[in-house]
Chain A
Amino acid sequence: QVQLVQSGAEVKKPGASVKVSCKASGYTFINYAISWVRQAPGQGLEWMGWIGAYNGNTNYAQNFQGRVTLTTETPTSTAYMELRSLRSDDTAVYYCAKVRDYWSGDRNWFDPWGQGTLVTVSS
């Protein structure tokens, strides 16, 4: 079955960086994009960006421009999200999700989702 498995929880100090991984299985990785979404405690879902696994093309939400980098490693079907200059309000659960058929441009929905990775930013 199609599955996304994320790396474990992280605790970081303000100003540091974090890199979260998302390993895909059960489908042809390069045919789709991976999107990243975060959810602060008690808050809603916030879209961060997406990366096309075929060619590495990216598009980021304005709120994260310059502070986030999305990458993929096609031999291992793994996507990565790196967030820099961490602040306390970056404390959140970070999710990856499969989205968008690269070839048709359709399939613009998030399914499945990874289990989520809690990133805590605290001094």
Chain B
Amino acid sequence: QSALTQPASVSGSPGQSITISCTGTSSDVGAYNYVSWYQQHPHKAPKLIIYDVSNRPSGDSNRFSGSKSGNTASLTISGLQTEDEADYYCSSYTSDNTYVFGTGTKVTVL
């Protein structure tokens, strides 16, 4: 199972919106609405920010939103803030009853 493809880095200024893509195949991202996204700050465990393509955990920031079209999922961060500077990973359930992560995207707030 190959890793899902994400851009290595994305940057934006405070207040702007950025979008991170996550491209898989018809056996993972395209097959199920089981795409999730994680935020990871340095030396910390990953934190769930989006599940089932577009759902946010209760109490979490509504500046994070997710969507999917075909084999590509996307995470949008609106109103970019300095604390959003982190690594972001997508994940998908697969037709082999396994899971796969994306290659990861480093978000920089300029």
Contacts and interface: CB of A to CB of B under 8 A. Distances in A.
Interface of A: 35, 37, 44-47, 49-50, 59, 61-62, 95, 99, 108-116
- Count chain B CB atoms within 10 A of each CB in A37, A59, A62, A95 and give the residue with the most: A37
Interface residues of B, number: 27
B98 interface: yes
A61 B91 contact: no
Contacts of A109: 34, 36, 48, 51-52, 91
Interface of B: 1, 3, 32, 34, 36, 38, 40, 45-48, 51-52, 57, 87, 89, 91, 93, 96-104
Contact of B46 (A50, A62, A95, A108): A95
A44 B48 contact: no
A21 to B, nearest CB: 16
29 contacts: A35-B99, A44-B3, A44-B103, A45-B38, A45-B40, A45-B46, A45-B89, A47-B91, A47-B98, A47-B99, A47-B100, A50-B99, A59-B96, A59-B97, A59-B98, A61-B98, A95-B45, A108-B34, A108-B36, A108-B93, A109-B34, A109-B36, A109-B48, A109-B52, A111-B51, A111-B57, A113-B45, A115-B45, A116-B45
